[in-house]
Amino acid sequence: MNIGIPKESLAGEARVAATPDVVRRWVAQGFEVLVAAGAGAAAHYPDSQYAEAGARIADQAEALGAEIVCKVRRPTTEEVAAMAAGAVYLGFVESCGEDEIVAAMLAREIHVFALERMPRISRAQSMDALSSQSNIAGYRAVIEAAARFGRFFPLMMTSAGSSKPARVVVLGAGVAGLQAIATARRLGAEVRAYDIRPETREQIQSLGAKPIDLDIGESGSGEGGYARELSAEAKARQQQLLADELAKAHVIVTTAMIPCRPAPVLVTEETVQRMRPGSVIVDLAAAGGGNCPLTERDRVVERHGVILVGHTNFPALVATDASAFYAKNLANLLALMVEKGEGGLAFKDFSADEITQATLIPAT
């Protein structure tokens, strides 16, 4: 049984689906691993390290034609055409509703395992790539904010005078938001955070931040630990109550996203106009339209004297570690999917386990 690791084709994607350490693990388990030439170069994993780990350096077509194809980002039409009929695909699919790419894969009887469908259960934590990459995004978002903010994050006292700590507000206390809080606190900032789910209050406090309590008339807790979309009335009240708190912030990191729905607007243009010149907003929801309507996808712009960062792929900015985390997630999932018998490695029944059952996109 062989595993193919293609080179990611999406512009700006520096991650790779497997690292030499994981390749070494797979080879020891009996897999043949085909790594496309240069697949790990952008993440600082040269071909020589993969070869030393036991992989065969192949071309892109060979990697895509393997029995098991591991990718980070959704495949293109051309990549799907290069996959073998009946193969297994492991990676993000980034799909909502009808999808031509997914339909093409299913038409070729490819078993599509979408990592964003990983259930939020204890057994699946080591396979939860969405959480591992969101964790990295939250960290890198704060680093980005600190680099673009023209003042210190911590309290600084020198012979030339002193400065107060930066006031950071994090909107959304999911995986990315909690890591953003922790990172901003480690950098010495004064941190406040808000989430529509009341159960996150204790988590915010445990990281040394102050929760922002708003009475919007309803809870935003949804299924599986995710937030649900608020009513129009609650959204309007939320914006109104948040405005004063946000206007006082030096840095805002927004992380509020609802699966397969536009990102909720939390930072209005009127609020941006009230912020101090030189303040920074890092909008982690830029791919979904942004939590601020002034955010521009994959651009850094200045509006009303405020810097807005709209990067949509923060994990790719920390590609070496992001790839290592992602590869371990994949390796743990694959270990659940295969077993060793007398004839060698074979797939288990995908419907027999709740994890593979949840991540497998059913044929229509």
Kindly report, residue by residue over 81-117, the tens digit of the pLDDT: 999 999 999 999 998 888 999 999 999 999 999 999 9
From CA 192, how far away is CA 168, in angstroms rounded?
A: 6
Q: Is the pLDDT of residue 141 over 90?
A: yes
pLDDT score for 239: 75
Note the pLDDT tens digit of each residue in 185-212: 999 999 999 998 888 999 999 999 999 9
Residue type, 166: A
pLDDT beyond 70 at 247: yes
- 337 to 100, 120, 127, 355: CA distances (angstroms): 26, 18, 12, 10
Average per-residue pLDDT in the chain? 94
pLDDT above 80 for 324: yes
Give the CATH class of 149-312.
Answer: alpha beta
Q: Whole-structure pTM over 0.85, yes or no?
A: yes
pLDDT in the model for residue 192:
97
229 pLDDT band, cuts 50/70/90, is: low
**Which pLDDT score, from 0 to 100, does residue 173 have?**
95
Query: Tens digit of pLDDT for each residue in 263-319?
Result: 999 999 999 999 999 999 999 999 999 999 999 999 999 999 999 999 999 999 999
Q: What is the pLDDT of residue 228?
A: 56
Residues that are catalytic: 120, 125, 128, 131, 226
The CATH superfamily label for domain 2-128+318-359 reads NAD(P)-binding Rossmann-like Domain (3.40.50.720)
For position 68, what pLDDT does the model report? 98
Signed CA dihedral, 305, 307, 308, 310: sign only: positive
Lowest mean pLDDT among 1-10, 66-75, 151-160, 202-211: 151-160
Question: Which tokens is 235 given?
Answer: 């959204």
Rounded mean pLDDT, 128-145:
98
State residue 149's pLDDT score.
Answer: 97
- 223 pLDDT higher than 60: no
User: Is the per-residue pLDDT at 147 higher than 90?
Assistant: yes
Q: Where are the domains of the chain?
A: 2-128+318-359, 149-312
The separation between CA 189 and the C-alpha centre of its own chain, rounded to angstroms, equals 24
Instruction: State mean pLDDT over 227-256.
Output: 84
Residue 230 has pLDDT above 90, yes or no: no
**Banded pLDDT at 220 (limits 50, 70, 90):** low
In this prediction, residue 222 carries a pLDDT of: 54
Proportion of the chain above pLDDT 90, given as a percent: 83
pLDDT at residue 320 is higher than 60: yes
pLDDT band of residue 217 (cuts 50, 70, 90) is low
Residue 341 has pLDDT above 90, yes or no: no
Q: What is the pLDDT of residues 48-67, one digit of tens each?
A: 999 999 999 999 999 999 99
Q: Match 């914006």 to its residue by tokens.
A: 239
> pLDDT at position 258, please?
82
pLDDT at 162: 85
